Amino acid sequence: MRFLSIIIFLFIAKTSFANVILPSLFSNHMVLQQNDEVKFWGWANPNEEVTIQTSWNGELYKTKASNQAKWDLIIKTPSYGGPFTISIKGYNEIVLNDILIGEVWLCSGQSNMEMSANWGGGIKNMDEVGKANNPTIRFFTIPKSASKYPQDNLTANWDICTPETMKKSSAAAYFFAKRLQENLKDIPVGLIVSAWGGTPAEIWMPEETIRKDSILNEAANNLKPVEWGPTEPARAFNAMINPLVGYNIAGALWYQGEANVGSPVYDKTLNTLINSWRYLWHKKFPFYYVQIAPYEYGEDHFGGVEIRNAQRKVLNLSENTGMVVIDDVSTADDIHPKDKKTVGIRLANLALKNHYKNFDGIVNGPLFKNISFEKGKTKVFFDNSKGLNTKGDNSLFEIAGEDKIFYDAKSKIKNDYIILTSKKVKKPKYVRFAWKNTTQSNVFNEANLPASTFTTEH
């Protein structure tokens, strides 16, 4: 009897908690990054053998769970295609169905990334909802969740794009994917959407990244609690980003900044967030973001325009980044611009030109390059300045001398640069453009893309 009891105990010990478990990321309908070595991971009994077999080549991959009950495997993916099946075996077997191979993008930020066609009064592009039957676009939309400590998993699932699922998903992300597919014919696109309206950037990066930097730590400590979401460092990162780390992506899209209006160090904050994500993924993936639109944040400060300028400055701080300016398709009385199609298209055009190298069009508006002074005149030079033109009669340029008191300047376009003059400034030293929270750019290039606000004062 004692021998039989031992046998029964060993059998129970071997079979208890024996099931291989996968994070929710690895589930039916998912999209895996093409032509890559993608990481699978999960949990199993310590020392349990785990095998993965893929239908695209029949190859068998093996590993064993560690004494921490964790395992991971690197799987080679082919060029785009599908649907495929993937079998994961331990003491049990999990079969994942309808798997596509294509391009995966992480889409994060606050409400303007989260915003769907169902949001409030809807988006400007509601006529697109009924056309959204596209089974090769997939959404993995993460519900809002916060945690004091980094999490290993979250609750979400992959959805096939239909008019109904598109209506509940990020509109900007959808139009990004749709535009990608116009050039990347037949290539599936997976959209991992992790966004939370009204949240500052500090909650989207690891806490230690903030605490070890005195400037960022001070900025984080100055954030005031709000009703609609966390403001403590890393709370959304821990619950909504950390469980994704390691899942191979082509790049990231970011639409955030409104909740950081008033921060004097947002350029450092955003740059640090970008670097922290790339460090965790071990990859300098493209990071494309949307400059916030002009809005009525108040007339007694420059908080909104300072964030826009900080976002512009990040382009020079972090490589492989891109920014789209959208103040020509927004209104200053709405913090949620309704035209999400233009936003998605402009983000996609950045990716098509800079990452995929298959689009020849102009994807950026005029970006401030430098200035020069000559006999009381100021010359302002831009990148992407071909076909430089202004709309309307008002000049949005201001110049100042050593005293940094700014005056309106007359502007004149010549040879794709702009000449500024003011009778009130004899020796100009500083220039700023569209320098108000509500001011929309009126300088464009031949692609009809607007210039970003800027100042040379700091």
Q: Does residue 172 surpass a pLDDT of 90?
A: yes
Q: Given its phi and psi angles, is residue 109 left (phi above 0), alpha (psi -120 to 50 degrees) or beta? A: left
Q: Does residue 16 surpass a pLDDT of 70?
A: no
Residue 246 CA to residue 70 CA, distance in Å, equals 14
Complete DSSP assignment for 23-66: -TTSSTT-EEESSSEEEEEEE-STT-EEEEEETTT--EEEEE--
Q: Where are the domains of the chain?
A: 2-72+81-99, 102-355, 367-455
Q: Does residue 154 surpass a pLDDT of 80?
A: yes
**Domain 102-355: which CATH number of 3.40.50.1110, 3.40.605.10, 2.60.120.10, 3.40.50.920:** 3.40.50.1110
Residue 122: predicted pLDDT? 86
Complete DSSP assignment for 135-195: EEEEEEEPPP---SS--S-----EEEE-HHHHHTS-HHHHHHHHHHHHHSTT--EEEEEEE
Q: Does residue 1 surpass a pLDDT of 80?
A: no
Residue 178 CA to residue 174 CA, distance in Å, equals 6
**Amino acid making up residue 209:** T
Structural Rg of the chain based on CA atoms: 25
Residue 454: predicted pLDDT? 98
- pLDDT, one tens digit per residue, over 361-408 is 999 999 999 999 998 899 999 999 999 999 988 999 999 999 999 999
Write out the two tokens for 370.
């430098």
CB of 186 within 8 A of CB of 80? yes
Q: Does residue 204 surpass a pLDDT of 50?
A: yes
C-alpha distances (whole Å) from 98 to each of 39, 73, 165, 219, 415 are 18, 20, 17, 45, 55
Q: Does residue 38 surpass a pLDDT of 70?
A: yes
CB of 352 within 8 A of CB of 359? yes
Residue 13: predicted pLDDT? 42
Considering only CA atoms, which of 192, 158, 175 is closest in space to residue 124?
A: 175
Q: Does residue 181 surpass a pLDDT of 90?
A: yes
CB of 138 within 8 A of CB of 29? yes
Residue 301: predicted pLDDT? 94
Residue 142 CA to residue 455 CA, distance in Å, equals 37
**Confidence class for position 36, pLDDT limits 50, 70, 90:** very high
**Confidence class for position 318, pLDDT limits 50, 70, 90:** very high
Considering only CA atoms, which of 424, 379, 341 is closest in space to residue 173?
A: 341
Q: Do the domains 2-72+81-99 and 102-355 sit in the same CATH topology, yes or no? A: no
C-alpha distances (whole Å) from 235 to each of 59, 165, 221, 253, 282 are 40, 27, 14, 20, 22
Residue 83 CA to residue 85 CA, distance in Å, equals 7
Residue 190 CA to residue 101 CA, distance in Å, equals 9
- pLDDT, one tens digit per residue, over 54-99 is 999 999 999 999 999 999 999 999 999 999 999 999 999 999 999 9
Q: Which residues pair with 373 in a beta bridge?
A: 378
Place of tokens 């789209």: 324
* CATH superfamily of domain region 2-72+81-99: Immunoglobulins (2.60.40.10)
**Confidence class for position 18, pLDDT limits 50, 70, 90:** low
Considering only CA atoms, which of 265, 273, 258, 276 is closest in space to residue 218?
A: 265
Percentage of the chain modeled with pLDDT above 90: 92
Residue 403: predicted pLDDT? 96
Considering only CA atoms, which of 426, 431, 428 is closest in space to residue 457?
A: 431
Residue 9: predicted pLDDT? 38
Write out the two tokens for 262.
């008033």
Write out the two tokens for 281.
């993924």
**Confidence class for position 217, pLDDT limits 50, 70, 90:** very high
Beta strands in 310-376 (DSSP E): 321-324, 367-374
Minimum mean pLDDT range among 1-15, 348-362, 372-386: 1-15
Considering only CA atoms, which of 290, 193, 274 is closest in space to residue 240?
A: 193
Q: What are phi and psi for residue 290, nearest 5 degrees?
A: -105, 125
What is the pLDDT averaged over residues 104-133? 94
Query: pTM here?
Result: 0.95
CB of 124 within 8 A of CB of 267? no
Residue 299: predicted pLDDT? 84
- pLDDT, one tens digit per residue, over 246-297 is 999 999 999 999 999 999 999 999 999 999 999 999 999 999 999 999 999 9
Write out the two tokens for 362.
């102009």
